[in-house]
Structure 1
Amino acid sequence: MDLRTEAPRVVPLTCHGHSRPVVHLHFSPMLGEDEYYLISACKDNNPMLRDGITGDWIGTFLGHKGAVWQARLSNDAALAVTASADFSAKIWDTFSGECLQTLQHNHIVRSTTFSPSQTHVATGGAEKKLRIFDLSRPDTPLEVGPQVHGGTIKSIVWSDPNTIVSASDDKKLRWWDVRSRELTYDFGVNELIGSCELSPEGNLISATAGKSVYFFESASRRLIKSISTPYEVSSVALHQATRRFITGGSSDTWVRVYNFDTEQELEVYKGHHGSIWSVAFSPDGKLYATGSEDGTIKLWKYTDQPYGLWK
């Protein structure tokens, strides 16, 4: 029996402004009843801040001289951190757009994230090193290790005050104790890792590698489920309340919706004209965003009720 539903007509909002592939998206938490923000990382060197509900452009952070591979907002959305091919990570004031700090590295920075307290950031990249910067004393970062990974660190998740998860081209996800800076858990996959993200609820880590998606309980590190799909998956986001997950693919232009329990593909949406590198649910779960090789961001409604610009 085919449990797939015929996909209802979903008209996404298209956010223009970038001139190169959009490689990473990150939503802030909810800041008010109807207030949250979205930041995008792009190969055009210029990360952008948007209203999360409408996609309206708020500002562009100017200063990087290379592709920006990852961008994240702090929990209060007052700060942003970006990781770039210009061998730096930058801390930004999201109200003024001013660059507050430049964290210099010796090679391409591919990944970065804030600590839950917003007082520190972690960075990783082509140096294969995981660094922790105290934003009050950024000139003396701590190095986790000694040997963190055998390949480029593509994503970092600071899952709780004392735990950092790093995902690397060496096909490893590794959990680190921030206090001792020592390895506490290691998980290997069979293909190159595409993405690794913390859920908006903060209780789940999702990762992709090849045609597979992985879901971990963040507190216990337990693998809840791994699912194989017929397609190369570059990013995944799980909607926990409806038990469905969204994937973006590196080998096609389709947004796919799956049932988490049955693992069956339910819906397929066309909208982009290039590979989809990043997928993320909004903090209220009422929309999700996709970022593509085609240089656009699309917002897709994920509620039956009127929402935002979908009236």
Structure 2
Amino acid sequence: LTSIRRCEFSEDGKRLLGVTEKRTGQLSNIVVYDIDNSSPDAPQPSEPTLRIVVDELPRVTVAGFSYLSKYIITGHENGSVAQWDAKTGELLNEVYSHEDGMAVTDLQWSADRTYFLTASKDKTAKLHDTNTMEVLKTYVADTPLNSAAITPEPTNYVILGGGQAAMDVTTTSARQGKFEARFYHKVFEEEVGRVRGHFGPLNYVAVSPDGKCYCSGGEDGYVRVHHFDPPYFDFKFEVEREREARTGAVGY
């Protein structure tokens, strides 16, 4: 046996994915189980319906199902991102989205899972098309990133979290350690604001499905829940306001 590094449900909740740790004598595996969630007492399978042995790629750090469980997307310790057939386990595509040797630390989806966001130790987060694996947008930070989340429509933001390495935190102030959650415009790739509060690196950020709040978990041992004020929903770039005035459309 080896440890599990990541667990994810499919969009419909009927499949469960797990990523096993690469250790001496054992390769990293992606295992998929078809689960019965009809009742708490329903029997569950003891063997996976799919096992992908990751022998030709570096260790898997993050993974998840795409829309309709068509693909499994994985991020790796060398900064690459891979696309697998979720039925056969065939490797379909591999792209080197992040700087070589800089691990992918998080992978989160848009609401419809047609695109996804990766965070990396190379101080960037990148928005990818699920089908083509093309990098659509790049968000550049000034610190290694541990997590990145996408806000649901009608807002157009991504939230990034990271900070100075935990081993160096004791000698660093919160400002110098860059322990803020960073907000970027999803389309224009520009940073629009930061939220302080943690006094250690942010290890994870997540947005509520209704988009009304987000939470951040830090190395300091706290989970902070932030509720968005009305100005957050009203903020628009000038080009967005002009477009809405011209077409009557909301969003981008």
Aligned to 1:185: 137
Of 151, 154, 162, 1:209 maps to 162
Amino acid at match of 1:177: D
Q: Are the equivalent residues in 1 in contact too, given 2:151–2:158 (CA < 8 A)?
A: yes
| Larger gyration radius, structure 1 or structure 2 | 2
Alignment counterpart, residue 82 of structure 2, candidates 131, 134, 137: 131
Task: Indicate conservation of the 8 Å contact 2:117/2:149, yes or no.
Answer: no
> Matched residues in 2 for 1:201 and 1:103: separation?
34
Partner of 1:72: 8
Report 1 or 2 for greater relative contact order, CA contacts < 8 Å, sequence distance ≥ 6. 1
Q: CA offset at residue 78 of structure 1?
A: 0.5
Distance in 1 between residues matched to 2:143 and 2:109, nearest whole Å: 23
Gap runs ≥5 in structure 2: 23-27, 37-43, 164-178, 231-252
Matched, 1:84 2:13: no
SS in 2 for 1:117: helix
Paired residues for 1:237-248 under 5 Å:
237-239=206-208, 243-248=212-217
Q: CA deviation at 1:194?
A: 2.0
Q: Unaligned stretches of 5+ in structure 1?
A: 1-64, 263-311
- Find the residue that maps to 2:69 and give its secondary structure: coil
- Aligned pair in 2 of structure 1 residues 153, 237: CA closer, same or farther (>3 Å)? closer
Alpha-carbon distance between aligned partners in 1 of 2:21 and 2:154, rounded to the nearest angstrom? 28
More helix, by proportion:
2
Question: Distance between the aligned counterparts of 1:219 and 1:103, measured in 2?
Answer: 35
Count of residue pairs brought into register by the alignment: 196
The question of whether the paired residues in 2 share the 8 Å contact of 1:189 and 1:209 is answered with no
| Structure 1 position 99, deviation (Å) | 1.0
Aligned pairs for 1:1-311 within 5 A: 65-86=1-22, 87-95=28-36, 96-97=44-45, 98-105=47-54, 106-145=57-96, 148-150=98-100, 151-159=102-110, 160-198=112-150, 205-210=158-163, 211-215=179-183, 225-232=193-200, 233-239=202-208, 243-251=212-220, 253-261=221-229
Give the partner amino acid of 2:195: I
Which structure dedicates a bigger proportion of its chain to strand? 1
Residues 145-180 of structure 1, C-alpha deviation per residue, up to 9 Å, x if partnerless? 4x5433111112232454232211111101223444
Q: CA deviation at 1:250?
A: 0.6
What is the SS of the residue equivalent to 2:205? strand
What is residue 33 of structure 1 aligned with on the other side? none
CA shift at 1:224, angstroms?
5.7
Any idea what SS the aligned residue of 1:191 has?
Answer: coil
TM-score by length of 2: 0.64
CA 1:84 to 1:219, structure 2 compared with 1: closer, same or farther past 3 Å?
Answer: farther
Distance 1:230 1:148 in 2: 27
Q: Percent identity?
A: 18
Q: Which stretch of the first structure deviates more once superposed, 104-113 or 236-245?
A: 236-245
